[in-house]
Structure formats: C-alpha cells, structure tokens
Structure 1
C-alpha cells in the first residue's frame, strides 16, 4: 500500500471528530479515480490545485501549520493509504481502495512525523506482518442473491398437498405479539455477508523476483515455487511480495 495522507481526530462528547487532513503532493491516477464516479467523463482535475499550492513557499508553510495543529490538538492519528490496484492484472477494476490505518505508539507529535515521513512511499508486506504471526482475515462470502427460506435457513419443506406453496415456514408467529420476531426464518438476501476468520498463521514471507523453489519451508522440503501449477484460481501468478 502507498501512504498519501494523514488525518487527525479530536475527542468530543459525541465521539471522535476530524480536525483536518494533509495530503501528499503527488497522487497516482488509481487513487484519483476513487474521488470520481465516472473517471472517463470527468475533467480529471482532482488535487491539481492542491499540488500546485505545495510547490510554493506559502503552500509548504501552510502544510507545516496544519501538521502543527494536528500535533497540538489531536488525540488519534491515522494515515490514508491506498492499494496498488494496477498490479492486479487479473482484475478489471482500476480504482484503488482508500483506507485509514491508525498509528499507535509514542507521542502525538512523533506519530504525525512518522506518518508524514511515509508520504508517497510504499509499505512492504514484511513491515506489517512477521513470520509465524497469528492474524485475522476479513472478507465477504460468495453472493447468492435473494433466496427462499428452505435454501437460506434449511427449514423442512411442507407436505406435497400444502396450499399456496410448500417451500415456506408454516407458522411465522403467534397472534400476539402482533409482529414477526427476528428469530423466525424468512426469505431474503443470502451470501455477500461480512465474515472474519480468526487466528490464521503466516507461514512464509517472500520478495518479488527471488530465486525459484521459494516455497520450501523447514517442514516441507519439496522444491516448488509459491505459485501452484496453473496459477491461483481467479488470481493468476504471484509476481509481487507475498
């Protein structure tokens, strides 16, 4: 991922509120696409005035003032980082994913300086994860669309002679309370649900372009590369750091 900005938060009675954001001078096209709904129809002017402003002395001084304000008032510091979607050759998407990553550790001033020092730099995978580390994986399940109650919840079908359909729930609740409880199985969206798999172990970290047989481990001495024969399904060949 590439760091392109820093944002500071202050604590208020209503929760965290942003105090301000500071962006890098040079932003790639893939992250600029995130700010447009139709990139091809737009004038592609995002951050052009901001970049020209940073070329002047007044602009540089203004950035330093904003950073000083973050150091003085903020309680939470997060960096703005985006994915390098152009390296995913198998995907049609050209719009990068932009996210905030919280910076923890020392004082607020050191956090701001740390984040500012990473502007326009790539964060390698070995700077985030370590070998034999236990991590959590977040994703979504395969989407199924709108499905019936038998497929969605696995309830029993009604007898063949049932009037008005048999792939249903016969009784969805009592007369009172006069509403359907959330515990009753109903038809609706199935799949595309948010899921977190916990405690996954990082077995190996590798660099792009290193020697073959890089997938050999201390416990598996078979000579093989990290990419299986034919490539990973729906992904392809691993060409970057892994």
Structure 2
C-alpha cells in the first residue's frame, strides 16, 4: 500500500466532525465580520464608492430569508480579466423570499473580567405598528396575497406566543386577540443604551405570514450591528427599535454574502453514499461483505477517522461569498409559472443569488456580510440580466 495517499486521498473532511443532526432549524451565527461590505467598499475604493452612493454607516450584519426555489438566467459577465468578460453567460440562480423583519428589542454588551461579552441590558418594543406599516407599504398593492392587515398582526402574535409565552399573552377583548406584554419603559431603554458598551445587537423576528410558506410561528434571532462608532450604532439601534427593516436596507446588489443554514436531511446512510467510498468487486479479501470499510481499529475514546455509516445531511453549514445578482420589492416578477415547487408564490421583497444554496424549499437561511471577502474584486453593482427563465419547473 505504498504511496496510497497519492492515489486515494481520504474520503470526507475531518473538519466537520461530528456529522450529527443540527440542534434546531434556526441556525446560530457563531461569528460576525469586523467590517460590513459598505465599510470595505469605502475603505478600498474611496471616491469611486462615494460616487455610487455607498457610504460607511451602521447596518445590520445579517438578514433572515426563506429559500423559495431555483431557475436560470443569462447575465452579462462583469468579472474582469476572464475569457467571457462582457459576454452573455448562463448561470443557475436561487430565489430567496425576503419579507421584512421587525426589531423587537435591543441588547447591549460589556466586557467582563475574563474578556468575554456579558449582557448589560435590553429593551423591548411592541411590533403592532411596524407590522401594519410593513404590510401597507410593501404588500397592500398585491391582490394575490388575500389577507388583511388585521389578520397579519393577529396571526403573527399567535405564532409569537407559541415561540415565547413570555412575550405575548391572550387578551380576547383586544383588537387582535393577543397583547404584547414585554414592552420596556423609557427608563429601561436609557439604562440599556448608556454607560460603557462594547457591542450592540438587535433581537429581530421574521414575519413568515408575509412569505409564501403560510406558517405563523416566527423565528427570533439576534443580529449584530456593524459599521460606525459605538455611539452611532446605539443611535441606529434606537431608531429601528420597534420598526421594520428590509433586505435592501442591509445589502446591495452585486455584493457578496455568506449563507448560514441547515442542509437537507438524508437520514442514516452507508459509507458509499455518505463518504463516496469506492465499492470494490467482491473477492477473497472482502468476501464477507461489500460496501464496508473493513477493520477500523479501536478508538480508545477518540473520534473515529475511517468512514462509517451514520447521519447524512441536516447539518449546520456555511457557504462563503455567494453573490447577490438582483434585489426587488415585487416577488411576482421573478416567480416562475405555477409557482416554485413545494413553496408557492413569492409576493414581496426577494433576493436573487448566483448559483445554488443548500437546504430544501421553505428552509430559513441567514445571509451575513462576508467574513472573508475577496478583496481583489469589489463590485459596486450587480451584472446586467439579459434573460430570466420564468418557465414552469413542474415535471422536470
């Protein structure tokens, strides 16, 4: 078996062990970038970025979306120094449903004695007005959505109570049948935003009632605010507290983002499908079985390295530097005929990503400003889309 590594490298990365199921569908963002995409453009491109209206400002470093489906497009390649620069090229695209999020709370952090972040304080606001305003400004003119403002708020509060009983309580006498009881006073807000603060984050909630999924239970996530000084971040956080934020307020067309989420589950699989191990013909050396790895030696408490059968898929993963080709407010302009398979229609704001994204339809993903961007090429706008296929994908 000399020089075997040169001809048969190991199957499966050891960097993603253990390959176990994710704890929950809502992914946790383990790290946030030091600079937002806007800060990088201003720092690297200067006046060129300013001429395009790009300014360094406080901004949320992440945004939750729902995967709707895929189609394909013909774009004019704008990458420099390639054989196809300026020519029309084919590319698969992923459509993400991006309904606005509502900022329920603001949380500030300090550095403790051991150098770790410690919660200093937090303040909460009622989401009634934000949800109603978001619906009226983004969805009221769409006849196909078939739902009123009152129904949107009522379904959202009903789902929010299922997620966290401490935020919403039933109140049959109220307009919506529920009451948001976690609202903080003005003094609590001042206490949370004053003093020595090391980090500022918001507690945001999705509004899945406005998506094509049709579910009521929202996801509650914590998003970091980046860009500017701490005082500017605090002022920005106070400004969006109790309001709604669109994807276009967080990202821009042409930029790169990281995608964080949970992959499609495959269940318990063997080594051939799970790791791509080659299945050898049955002969004397392994006459007792095929599609097996043979001896693997005792582990003695260590994590096993040889390929073994086990869980495949439903893992938390991160894909780096996926490019945003287009963003818009009317999802019906990019919805394919008959709707996306296993999803339906995209009614409101959307994001079109170049290439594929892991996970099945309806899976919630978090888009994050790039943590390891390619600094050799920093586009200021998206490419020209010459053609977008809106043909039905049923039966394909």
- TM-score, normalised to structure 1, is 0.74
CA distance in 2, matches of 1:157, 1:105: 52
Distance 2:269 2:197 in 1: 47
CA distance in structure 2 between the aligned counterparts of 1:171 and 1:90, rounded to whole angstroms = 47
For 1:13-49, what per-residue CA distance to the aligned partner results, in whole angstroms no more than 9, with x for missing partners? 1511111211113465133332149xxxx96489755
Which residue matches 2:206?
83
CA positional deviation for 1:63: 2.3
Q: Describe how 1:98-137 pairs up with structure 2 within 5 A.
A: 98-137=220-259
* Counterpart check, 1:241 vs 2:364: no
Contact 1:172–1:180 under 8 Å retained in 2: no
1:18 aligns with 119
Tell me which residue corresponds to 2:335.
227
Verify: 1:5 aligned to 2:109, yes or no. Answer: no
After superposition, what is the alpha-carbon deviation per residue over 1:57-96, rounded to whole angstroms, capped at 9, x for unaligned?
xx43x224423xx3312210001111111112434x3211
Indicate the larger mover: 158-167 or 72-81: 158-167
Shift of 1:164: 6.1
On the 8 A contact 1:71/1:112 being kept in 2, the answer is: no
Conserved 8 A contact 2:102-2:127: no
Q: Does 1:66 pair with 2:191?
A: yes
Give, in angstroms, the shift of residue 3 of structure 1.
0.8
Change (3 A) 1:50 1:185: closer
**1:155/1:22 CA distance change after superposition, 3 Å:** same
Counterparts of 1:193 and 1:32, CA distance in 2: 28
After superposition, the Cα gap between the structure-2 partners of 1:118 and 1:148, relative to the gap in structure 1 and judged at 3 Å, is: same
Q: Is the 8 A contact 2:109 2:117 kept in 1?
A: yes
1:154-177: per-residue Cα shift (whole Å, max 9, x none)? 32446278676433211113x7x7
Q: Considering only CA atoms, is the larger Rg found in Structure 1 or Structure 2?
A: 1
Question: Residues 78 and 101 of structure 1 are in contact (CA less than 8 Å); yes or no, is this contact kept in structure 2?
Answer: yes
Higher strand proportion, which one? Answer: 2
Deviation of the 1:136 alpha carbon: 2.0
CA change 1:237–1:97 in 2 (3 A) is same
Structure 1 residues not aligned, in runs of 5+: 213-224
Distance in structure 2 (CA, Å) of the matches to 1:80 and 1:154? 41
- The TM-score with structure 2 as length reference comes to 0.47
RMSD: 3.2
2-structure distance, mates of 1:193, 1:141 = 5
Q: Cα gap change, 1:154/1:201 in structure 2, threshold over 3 Å: closer, same or farther?
A: closer
Indicate how the Cα distance of structure 1 residues 178 and 196 shifts in structure 2: closer, same or farther if over 3 A, else same. Answer: closer
| CA spacing shift, 1:49–1:35, aligned 2, 3 Å | closer
Deviations 1:81-127 (A, max 9, x none): 11111112434x32111111111233333322211211221111211
Shift in CA distance, 109/47, structure 1 to aligned 2, threshold 3 Å: farther
Aligned length: 213
Q: 1:160 to 1:85 in 2, by over 3 A?
A: farther
Q: Flag as ranges the 4+ runs of structure 1 deviating above 6 A.
A: none
